[in-house]
Amino acid sequence: MSKSARAFWMPCPGSGEIRTEDLPDPGPGEVLVRTLHSGVSRGTETLVFQGRVPQSQWETMRAPFQAGDFPGPVKYGYLNVGVVEAGDDRLVGRTVFCLYPHQTHYVVPATSVTVVPEGVPADRAVLTGTVETAVNAVWDANPQIGDRITVVGGGMIGLSVAAVLAGFPGADVQLADTDPSRAGIASSLGIQFAHPDQADTDRDLVIHASATTAGLSRSLELLRPEGTVVELSWHGDAPVAVPLGEFFHSRRLTIRSSQVGGIRPDRHRTYAERLALALKLLKDPRFETLISGRSDFDDLPEVLPELTGGTRPALCHVIDYPTGN
């Protein structure tokens, strides 16, 4: 063992701590990465931190480099940007994105890191996993030129979807959220904003990302006949009441699931290609508006309860690591 690393662990639901771990030297085909920034995926990490991952989903919800098991102790996270310090000579000195938890250094296969392209700041690159989810959602939604599209839920995922859709040819894109502060962000992304009660109706497509029963119900109400809701929220262990009576059958509505763990076969893209596309999209400076706050790594045990409990409002919260950590 050549050195140690510090990592954020959740020993049990509702608590977090930083632990020191031994770190091996990189072997053949591996790289040593020093973390520059990581991001808190507030929706998913809230469910993990609060111990709300259903037991039936423990295997499905494992992060690529998760250590431990749900509900805890567990080391969880998947938005990490760092610089390669050793290993593959072609990567040494390059800034890379990896689906790794919050940790100061780590060793992974070289194939598990993706080089951050020129023009994408390292801290903005923590959004890669979120934008990748948005890309997958748009692929699942399959919008057409000139569609009337509403995104319900202006959190980190919903805003990323709206940002991707904002450039779609001829599309009328509207963000619906109960928080009026999202109006300014929507404007900076080049899309309309409305409270859900005042949102436009007769929509061809609605992408739901609020993770609430009320949001899903309103999404169905906004559709035209034969319209589709793409359900992007992951509700964890919370029961969801879906209004399948009233107009659901008479309008012949569709609810389609979307989850980043799978790519629809007719896209003919690999996961690596999808990830590279997300990084390319992040050259657009509009995504900067999704970074709503930042904290030091050492403060994460105190910050994460505030983020997951709602006392510290956030979209993408960036965790900064000390230089030469």
For the stretch 71-83, pLDDT in tens is: 999 999 999 999 9
Q: What is the pLDDT of residue 239?
A: 81
Judge whether residue 137 has pLDDT over 80.
yes
Nearest-CA neighbor of 314 among 132, 96, 159? 159
98 forms bridges with which residues in the sheet?
80, 113
Helices 42-49 and 156-165: angle between axes, nearest 10 degrees: 160
Give the pLDDT band of residue 240 (cuts 50, 70, 90): confident
Summarize the confidence of residues 283-310 as an average pLDDT.
93
Is 229 within 8 Å of 208 (Cβ atoms)? yes
For 130-263, CATH number out of 2.60.120.10, 3.40.50.300, 3.40.50.720, 3.90.870.40 equals 3.40.50.720
pTM of this structure: 0.89
CATH code: domain 3-119+283-320 is 3.90.180.10
Give the pLDDT band of residue 312 (cuts 50, 70, 90): confident
Q: What is the pLDDT of residue 317?
A: 93
| Maximum C-alpha span of the chain | 66
Judge whether residue 313 has pLDDT over 80.
no
Give the pLDDT band of residue 309 (cuts 50, 70, 90): confident
Judge whether residue 59 has pLDDT over 50.
yes
Mean of the per-residue pLDDT values of the chain: 93
Question: Residue 128 and residue 279: Cα distance in Å, rounded?
Answer: 6
Give the pLDDT band of residue 113 (cuts 50, 70, 90): very high
Give the pLDDT band of residue 241 (cuts 50, 70, 90): confident
Considering the chain, tell me which residue range(s) the CATH 3.40.50.720 domain(s) occupy: 130-263
Considering the chain, tell me which residue range(s) the CATH 3.90.180.10 domain(s) occupy: 3-119+283-320
Give the pLDDT band of residue 60 (cuts 50, 70, 90): confident
Q: What is the pLDDT of residue 1?
A: 43
Q: 182-221 burial, b for 16+ CB within 10 Å, e for fewer?
A: bbebbeebebbbeebeebeeebbbbbbbbbbbebbbbbbe
User: For residue 35, what is the enclosing H or E element?
Assistant: strand 30-40
Judge whether residue 2 has pLDDT over 80.
no
Summarize the confidence of residues 52-59 as an average pLDDT.
90
